[in-house]
Structure 1
C-alpha cells in the first residue's frame, strides 16, 4: 500500500525541513491550498522544495478553483508537468480575503490538466448521495480524494481510484479535531483500518494528523 502524508505549507523554512525529515519514509505528500479560505503559502512552493530533495516522491498539490481562471490552471498544469507533480482540484471554501473569481468546475480543470498529460484528480465527499458520488467516479479524473471517509461509505462503489482521506485523532489534536465536521480515527484503530482497506483493494491512503507531527514519527516506526 502507498502511504501519503498531508503536509501544510509554512513560511518558516526550518519547520518545513523538520517536517520533511519526519515524513521522509512516506511514499509521497498531499499539500492543501489555503484551507478554509485563509491566505497561506502556495502549495507549489512546498512541492518544489520537496522535488529538489527527491525525484521519486509522489506529490499532489491541491488547487482551489474559486480563486483562479483558465489561464492560471493552464500555467499550473505546465508547471506540474515540468516538475512531475499531480494536481487535485477543489472548489474550496469562500475566501476570507477578496472576492470569488472561479467559475471552473473541478471536471473542467481536470480536463485542462490532462491536456498537458498531468495526472489530476478531484475531491469526492463520501457522505454525498450515491448519485453524486457515482457521477464523480464516472469522470475522467485519475484519482479522487475521498473526504468524509468511513469504511461503510465505500460499500458497493468502484473504489479503484479513491484515495481515502484518513484523519487521525491524538491526545495532542483531539480538541482541534472536535471542531471539524469530518470523521476521525484513533491511532489504535489505524492498523485494523489499514488491513480492512487493503482487503477491499485500496492501494493508496492519505493520512492527516493536524498539529501533531509526532504521530507521523510513531507511524513511520510501526509500518
Structure 2
C-alpha cells in the first residue's frame, strides 16, 4: 500500500514514515503542498495523509486534486474541536485524525479507507492456492498466512493484478520504492528471488523476461 504523507513538522514526519514502513506501508513523505503536487501522477498512490496547517498553505486545498487522482485522504490536525473536523470533512476529507496520533490507529484508518465502497483498492486476488487481500495486507497459501516483507507483498500484489501479463521493471520499482530511496542494481532481483522461494509450494512461478520485467504464471503444484 503506497502512501503519501504531507507533514511539515520534521520530527513527526520522520517518526511517522519509520512507523508506517514498519507496519508494511510504502511511504513517500513531503513537507509542503508544492512538493505534494509534484508527486501526484508520478507514482501510483493508494492514500494520502494530509496535515491541515502547512508552511505554504491550507492542507484542505489539496483534497480536490487528490480526489481527481483517485487518492483517498486522511486529514491530520492539531485542532480537535468539532468545527475543525466538520470543515475538513466538508472540504472532501475521507477521514480525520487528531495529532498527536497513534500509528496503529493511523494504519487501521488507512486500511479502513481502502475497504470503503467506491475506493479503488483491488478486491481479494486469487491464483491457484494463492489468495491476497490488499486491504488486510495479508497473503495466504491455502489457509496458511505467508510471512512476507512489505516489498515482497507489494511485488506479489502487482504480479497477481497483472497476471498473466508482464510487469515492466520500472513499474515494479515505482511500486516497491519511494521517490527518495536509492535502488541498487540487484535490489529488485533479490526481492524477486525471495518471493520466488516463498511461492514454490503454491506451484506459482515468477517468470523473468530479461531486460523487460516479470510475470506470474501457474506451474505444477509440487
Higher relative contact order (CA 8 A, sep 6+): 1
- TM over 0.5, shorter chain: no
Higher Cα Rg, which structure? 2
What TM-score, normalized to structure 2?
0.34
